[in-house]
């Protein structure tokens, strides 16, 4: 079994306590590796390294095209390591090998994209009077702390680290304790690219220890968090205590509205990826479908056929489509939700319980006749459980879709693009997908309405959240 280390100030180090976190393969429950477990003292070292690198101005004063070149080298080294790193990501997270390798390439895409924007972060000159030259400069915050979830351990890290680097911040990344190994391959890519020490530090520790200590550290100037609403709110309190900005990307309970004229095979294809892919552990999962009553029976039949057809297996087995959830805790939680739906009167037309095999596999579950007041329609399940609700007129469908504290994603299935645009305008969500879930890319802004969080990741807009504006006025007389 291989032992992994933290990457602090350009060095590979064990935690001072020598404690380790063991990492499991959720497909078998076998231990596949271990990593040094960072505690407060290790967080101090990582933050100090970041702070010193920021103070040295090595990144801030680097000619801007050199910064871009360095980012492209990180991208190149990340691509080189994508197969090896993707393999570990597949084993520690459970998702398919192809999806795991793609995540590394997504990180590379992010670094290339933001590399191209480094020299386009322009300030303004502002007319004040003829005797004043007034201009703005965009400056980094300093030490930016990134707390990463386990469902997309690399993609979530890549989008924030690339933005942070492009804008000149020094970064400390705390990976999730359930999936910390793959990020060490990204750290290797950072090292191979020749990034000066301290600009990107990557550590793993438990959330309530290293995570909480990092977020509340006095020398951290900026926080990026992706994860649950409960933890996100704690992070916001920590940020508020220090009056520093926090970007939070939290959960979702996204609904797709199915019009009577929808191509139902499009809905099924979206279900394949957006609720059964990655075992439904996706913040923008298509976890509810609000379906017109005239097409519901036909759609249910198609969803059951899909659920039956999905090949259950580990991500590293060719052709696996329904891979495990991350942990026994998660499996119990997901199974409990499915049970609660049935107890409340929904019908499990497929699935509803764990798969009888080793590992943490949950059946592809389709709950029919769900009502919006049921827990399964209100809370984020984060598993392969799809709730199907019925509507008669479109205003009712929109009310159902919006009747949630979340506002991350939403969808519309219809051949009529006028209806699609009208519906999109009514949905309280940060992204709306029409006829296909997940149409976005590295360039499209991503984030939540309501309790799904605020600020945006990805795209040009994201840069604003990593920069502060300095206004300079020069008296010319």
DSSP H or E stretch at residue 80: helix 64-80
The catalytic residue among 249, 335, 380, 457 is 249
Residue 170, classed as helix, strand or coil, is strand
Q: Which of 228, 402, 461, 468 binds ligand NAI (CB under 6 A)?
A: 228
Name which of 199 and 385 has its Cβ closer to ligand NAI: 385
Instruction: Work out how close the CB of 222 gets to ligand NAI at its nearest, in angstroms, rounded to a whole number.
Output: 15
Annotation says 204 is catalytic: no
Q: Which stretch binds ligand NAI (CB under 6 A): 47-55, 82-90, 224-232, 266-274?
A: 224-232
DSSP H or E stretch at residue 348: strand 347-350
Residues in the chain: 477
Name which of 115 and 283 has its Cβ closer to ligand NAI: 283
Alpha carbon distance 94, 360 (integer Å): 9
Q: Is 153 in the site for ligand NAI (CB under 6 A)?
A: no
Residue 57, classed as helix, strand or coil, is coil
Alpha carbon distance 94, 181 (integer Å): 13
Q: Which stretch binds ligand NAI (CB under 6 A): 26-34, 61-69, 128-136, 211-219?
A: 211-219
Could you give the residue ranges of the DSSP H alpha helices within 198-355? Answer: 212-215, 229-242, 264-274, 296-309, 328-343
The catalytic residue among 77, 283, 363, 390 is 283
Alpha carbon distance 14, 5 (integer Å): 5
Instruction: Work out how close the CB of 382 gets to ligand NAI at its nearest, in angstroms, rounded to a whole number.
Output: 4
Half-sphere exposure of 432 (CA within 13 A, CB side): 18
Name which of 155 and 262 has its Cβ closer to ligand NAI: 155
Annotation says 249 is catalytic: yes
Q: Which stretch binds ligand NAI (CB under 6 A): 43-51, 71-79, 208-216, 422-430?
A: 208-216
Q: Which of 201, 231, 320, 465 binds ligand NAI (CB under 6 A)?
A: 231
Q: Is 208 in the site for ligand NAI (CB under 6 A)?
A: yes
Name residues contacting ligand NAI, limited to 43-62 (CB under 6 A): none
Of all residues in the shown chain, the one whose CB is closest to ligand NAI is: 207
The 8-class DSSP code of residue 465 comes to: G
The 8-class DSSP code of residue 354 comes to: B
Q: Is 255 in the site for ligand NAI (CB under 6 A)?
A: no
Report how many residues bind ligand NAI under the rule CB under 6 A.
25
Q: Which stretch binds ligand NAI (CB under 6 A): 91-99, 147-155, 194-202, 339-347?
A: 147-155
Q: Which residues of this protein are in contact with ligand NAI, per CB under 6 A? A: 147-151, 174, 176-177, 207-208, 211-212, 215, 226-228, 231, 234-235, 250-251, 283, 330, 380, 382
Residues that are catalytic: 249, 283
């Amino acid at each position: 079994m291989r032992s992994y280390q933290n990457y602090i100030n350009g060095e590979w180090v064990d935690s001072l306590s020598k404690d380790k976190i063991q990492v499991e393969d959720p497909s078998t429950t076998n231990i596949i590796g271990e990593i040094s477990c960072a505690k407060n003292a290790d967080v101090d070292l990582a933050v100090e390294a970041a702070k010193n690198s920021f103070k040295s101005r090595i990144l801030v004063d680097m000619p801007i095209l050199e910064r871009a070149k360095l980012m492209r080298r990180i991208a190149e080294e990340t691509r080189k390591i994508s197969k090896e790193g993707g393999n570990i990501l597949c084993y520690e997270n459970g998702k398919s090998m192809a999806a795991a390798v793609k995540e590394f390439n997504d990180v590379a895409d992010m670094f290339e994209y933001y590399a191209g924007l480094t020299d386009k972060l322009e300030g303004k000159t502002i007319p004040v009077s003829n005797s004043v030259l007034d201009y703005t400069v965009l400056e980094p915050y300093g030490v930016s702390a990134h707390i990463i979830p386990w469902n997309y351990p690399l993609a979530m890290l890549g989008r924030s680290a690339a933005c942070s680097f492009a804008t000149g911040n020094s970064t400390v990344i705390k990976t999730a304790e359930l999936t910390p190994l793959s990020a060490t391959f990204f750290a290797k890519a950072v090292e191979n690219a020749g990034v000066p020490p301290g600009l990107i530090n990557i550590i793993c520790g438990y959330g309530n220890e290293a995570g909480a200590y990092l977020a509340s550290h006095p020398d951290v100037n900026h926080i990026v968090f992706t994860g649950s609403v409960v933890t996100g709110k704690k992070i916001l309190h920590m940020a508020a205590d220090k009056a520093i900005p926090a970007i939070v990307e939290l959960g979702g309970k996204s609904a797709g509205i199915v019009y009577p004229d929808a191509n139902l095979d499009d809905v099924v294809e979206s279900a394949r990826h957006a609720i059964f892919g990655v075992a439904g552990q996706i913040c923008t999962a298509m976890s509810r479908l609000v379906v017109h009553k005239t097409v519901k029976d036909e759609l249910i039949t198609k969803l059951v056929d899909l659920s039956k057809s999905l090949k259950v297996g580990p991500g590293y087995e060719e052709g696996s489509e329904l891979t495990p959830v991350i942990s026994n805790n998660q499996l119990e939680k997901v199974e409990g939700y499915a049970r609660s739906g049935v107890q409340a009167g929904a019908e499990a037309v497929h699935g509803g319980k764990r798969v009888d095999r080793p590992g943490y596999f949950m059946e592809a579950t389709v709950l029919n006749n769900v009502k919006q007041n049921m827990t399964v329609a209100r809370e984020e399940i984060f598993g392969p459980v799809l709730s199907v609700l019925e509507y008669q007129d479109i205003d009712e469908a929109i009310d159902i879709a919006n009747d949630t504290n979340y506002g991350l994603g939403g969808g519309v299935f219809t051949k009529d693009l006028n209806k699609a645009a009208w519906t999109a305008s009514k949905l309280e969500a940060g992204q709306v997908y029409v006829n296909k879930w997940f149409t976005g890319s590295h360039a499209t802004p991503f984030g939540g309405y309501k309790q799904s969080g605020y600020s945006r990741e990805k795209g040009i807009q994201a840069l604003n959240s990593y920069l502060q504006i300095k206004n300079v006025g020069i008296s010319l007389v």
